[in-house]
Structure 1
Amino acid sequence: MALGSVVACLGEALIDRLGPPGGDPAVDRPVDDRLGGAPANVACGLARLGTPVVFVGRLGQDAIGEAFTRLFAERGVGTTLLQRDAERPSRIVLVRRSMEGERQFQGFAGDQGAGFADQALESFVLPEAQWLLIGTLLLAAPTSASALLSAVRQARNQGMAIALDVNWRPTFWDATADPEAGPSAAAKAAIQPLLRQAALIKLATEEALWFFNSDDPAAIQRALPQRPDVVVTNGAAPVRWQLGADSGQQAAFQLPSVVDTTGAGDAFTAGLLHRWAAASQERIRFAAACGAMVCGGAGGIDPQPTQAQVEAFLGGVS
């Protein structure tokens, strides 16, 4: 069996519609449609690395749903809990890219009036696994929120560790929101129970400040009753972490050129869970390499590396 944990990835699978660098994906052409969504990205990243993984989510009965079905089959991602929706389409996210490859989520396409399939995720029986990986976006719609909270209860009852990637995206909660806006009081109240139940929490610096008024992983760990492992990322700045009693930081690896940063954080998460049995610093270093390598190609899934590729990459850097 491969290194790492057996993981159930719960959440959204969608299309990232990447606009031309410096352009608007809603109107400018050409656009580049890439399969994505944080939990789907992590599932595919784990499978590429060699960790057994199942994806739990809901897609439309459409071309996007079929594309994901093929992708998951090719990667070896389990799909026994992949739901399909005959009424609602799969979600398309409009992604604006800067000339430097940085991205901003600015809205959606494809809604035909009934919402998106991921919003209608139904409750399910959680399979046995070592980890349940979740985000917060399913909380933005009542039906999918109920399914997520049911899964968290099941995980707790089964003794399964919960990994939470906060992944705050205001447009999922309010399609008219400023893409840079922080969480509302209602969103914070919905997300707080997840923060208090997770064994591992990954946050961007701004998310850490919004929820904890601190971006210090040790302070965040102390602020929560379960004393979780905490990782705080900040784009190209060093990753800071508190894993148990161990702490430190890891500088980002540099690539000759950055094509697209979409999915870098998800590749990091996949690498972290894949190498969870290793020493703290090794886990983080491996995860950082996974995140960096994804930035060398377009989209969050296609450029994901194998374990051998990550090891070769790490062997060539100091």
Structure 2
Amino acid sequence: MAPDPVVVCLGEALIDRLGPPGGDPAVDVPVDDRLGGAPANVACGLARLGTRVAFVGRLGRDAIGDAFTDLFLERGVNLSLLQRDDQRPSRIVLVRRSMDGEREFQGFAGDQGLGFADQALAPVRLPQADWLLVGTLPLAASVSGAALLSAVEQAQQQGLALALDVNWRPTFWDPSADPAAGPSKQALEAMQPLLLQAALLKLAREEALGLFGTADPTAIQRMLPQSPDVVVTDGAAPVRWHIGTEHGVQPALKPPTVVDTTGAGDAFTAGLLHRWSAPPMERLRFAAACGALVCGGAGGIDPQPGEAQAERLMRIAD
């Protein structure tokens, strides 16, 4: 039997359909389809770094699902809890890219009338692990939301620490929503059980402002009764963090080139969890290196670094 994972990543695995820089991925060509989805990205990033990891998600019985299965097996991700759906397809997300590599999620493709496979995620029995890593997107559908909350409850009972990467994407909750819109009252209420249990809370600056009215990680930590570790990212700007009793600022590390920023935050999260036993400043610097290196290639998975690559960038930046 395979050893128990250190981290269980639960949530969506999907295709990021990257439009041509400055173009519309719904109509302009060429598009670049990349395997993605935040929990899947983190799982693959952890596996490449050498952390034992399991993925919990639901994919269509289609070419996308097959491609993910092959990728996970190649990376060494535990797939004992992966589900396949005979009726619903794997999700395709349309990603608009600016000329400087920044991206915006604008909608979906592939729905045949029954929704997407990730929306039908069924409850699972979690294995023993140190961490359960989740985002908020499964909460946007009732079935997958129930499966997520079941896993969060199990984590509390079994002693798994909950790592929450908010990953707010309004179009998952309402396909017609403005991609820049903040969380609705309904979404905020749905997120509360996760926010109140998280041992590690990772937010982008705009998510922190939308949820807490501040991007100060110390202030956010004080707002939650469990006083979680809080990390706030801000694109190429410095990361602000409060872990335990320590707090500080981690400047972004500069990659050799920037092709596409998709998945940078997920690589950062993978690096953070991989180095969790290190002192906080080392954790954040290693995570920053992982996030930077992903920007040098297309998509959120293919350019993910190994441990040696991340350490090399850390040395260069010294």
TM-score by length of 2: 0.98
Structure 2: gaps (5+ residues): none
- Whole-angstrom distance in 2 between the partners of 1:52 and 1:63: 26
- Whole-angstrom distance in 2 between the partners of 1:148 and 1:188: 16
Match of 2:317 in 1: 317
The number of residues matched between the two structures is 314
- CA positional deviation for 1:254: 1.3
Alignment of 1:55-94 (within 5 A): 55-94=55-94
- CA positional deviation for 1:313: 1.5
Alignment of 1:1-318 (within 5 A): 6-318=6-318
- Percent sequence identity over aligned pairs: 74
- CA positional deviation for 1:192: 1.6
TM-score by length of 1: 0.98
SS of the residue corresponding to residue 281 of structure 2 reads helix
Superposition RMSD in Å: 0.7
- CA positional deviation for 1:184: 0.5
Structure 1 moving runs of 4+ over 4 Å: none
SS of the residue corresponding to residue 317 of structure 2 reads coil
- Whole-angstrom distance in 2 between the partners of 1:148 and 1:255: 35
State the Cα deviation string for residues 216-272 of structure 1 (Å, max 9, x = none).
000000000000000000111000000000000011111232100000000000000
- Whole-angstrom distance in 2 between the partners of 1:314 and 1:219: 29
Structure 1: gaps (5+ residues): none
- Whole-angstrom distance in 2 between the partners of 1:39 and 1:257: 25
Q: Which has the larger displacement, 253-262 or 234-243?
A: 253-262
- CA positional deviation for 1:15: 0.1
- Whole-angstrom distance in 2 between the partners of 1:178 and 1:310: 35
- Whole-angstrom distance in 2 between the partners of 1:192 and 1:158: 20
State the Cα deviation string for residues 23-50 of structure 1 (Å, max 9, x = none).
0000000000000000000000000000
1:167 counterpart letter in structure 2: N
Q: Which has the larger displacement, 46-55 or 251-260?
A: 251-260
SS of the residue corresponding to residue 176 of structure 1 reads coil
